[in-house]
Amino acid sequence: MPSGKLDAWDAAYAHSTDNSQAHSDYLLNTTDQLNGVLTIEAGNNIGLKVVRERTAVTWPIGVFSLLARSTNNMADGFGSSFDFMIEDDGGVENTIGSIACRRAGADNTGRLVFAPYAAGSAVNALTADGATGNVGIGTGTDAGESRLEVQTTTTVGCQALTIDQNDQDEAFIDFQGTATAGVGTNICTWTTGAAVKGYILGEVNGTKQWFPYCDPPPTPG
């Protein structure tokens, strides 16, 4: 099979248990029985291509599955991960990133974590929570307390969020809701009696500016 396709997977796996002819006949080699390392070698620039054909045209097809199995009772944080690794002529395998889905609250509920590596350690850059739908950036393994939460630290040394419209004649943010002359909704049209309470630091075209915030306006009588 010079193309590297595995059309007879069961036969390849059977031969791989003793490594008798898997490498030559099926391009399948499992020499590491302890850690379960599976190496699939191909003669072209695609190391592994998995194809599953169905007649469905309107929903995703399960093509590739990762199963992490524990001999004990699962707890939060347990899950499957897909690791990205590189190696050069030094012969050292380096993990540079991973995508993991971890148990979060129940055996059928997950939290997806995207983690690039920095100096050999995983940095949980983005987390999406299945139970709440929240997405957190810089929130660690927690997805935060809002639909989108962005956190930064003093060690990062940068602002938490930049919105760049690329000089397009459109608003930066669209606030949507019911506008009323009172504090019963999140958009209030009442303009009197609301004293400035303080200021929040922001930037406009790279220049720091202070934006005022006010006490809640009174409900009109």
Tell me, yes or no, whether 86 and 154 share the same domain: yes
Backbone φ and ψ for 47, nearest 5 degrees, come out as -75, -40
Of the pLDDT bands very low, low, confident and very high (cuts 50, 70, 90), residue 216 is confident
Which of residues 63, 94, 114 is at a domain's end?
63
What CA–CA distance (Å, rounded) separates 126 from 149?
10
Where does 89-157 show beta strands of DSSP type E?
A: 93-103, 110-118, 121-122, 126-129, 135-137, 148-150
Tell me, yes or no, whether 213 and 138 share the same domain: no
Which of residues 16, 32, 63 is at a domain's end?
63
The residue-averaged pLDDT of 164-185 equals 82
Question: 80-106, pLDDT tens digit by residue?
Answer: 999 999 999 999 999 999 999 999 999
Tell me, yes or no, whether 214 and 128 share the same domain: no
* CB-based contacts of 108, cutoff 8 Å, min separation 6: none
Neighbour count for residue 67 (Cβ, 10 Å): 5
* Identity of the residue numbered 162: T
CA 186 to chain centroid, in Å, comes to 30
User: What does the pLDDT read at residue 219?
Assistant: 62
Domain count, the chain: 3
pTM of the model: 0.70
Question: 113-157, pLDDT tens digit by residue?
Answer: 999 999 999 999 999 999 999 999 988 888 888 999 998 876 667
Residue 129, beta-bridge partner list: 111
- Tokens representing 97? 């990133």
Which of residues 63, 91, 111 is at a domain's end?
63
215: containing domain: 164-221
User: What does the pLDDT read at residue 34?
Assistant: 45
Tell me, yes or no, whether 114 and 197 share the same domain: no
Three-class DSSP category at 102: strand
Tell me, yes or no, whether 49 and 122 share the same domain: no
Tell me, yes or no, whether 78 and 156 share the same domain: yes
Tell me, yes or no, whether 71 and 56 share the same domain: no
Average pLDDT, the chain: 79
What CA–CA distance (Å, rounded) separates 79 from 110?
8
Summary count for the chain: helices (H), strands (E)? 2, 13
Tell me, yes or no, whether 199 and 132 share the same domain: no
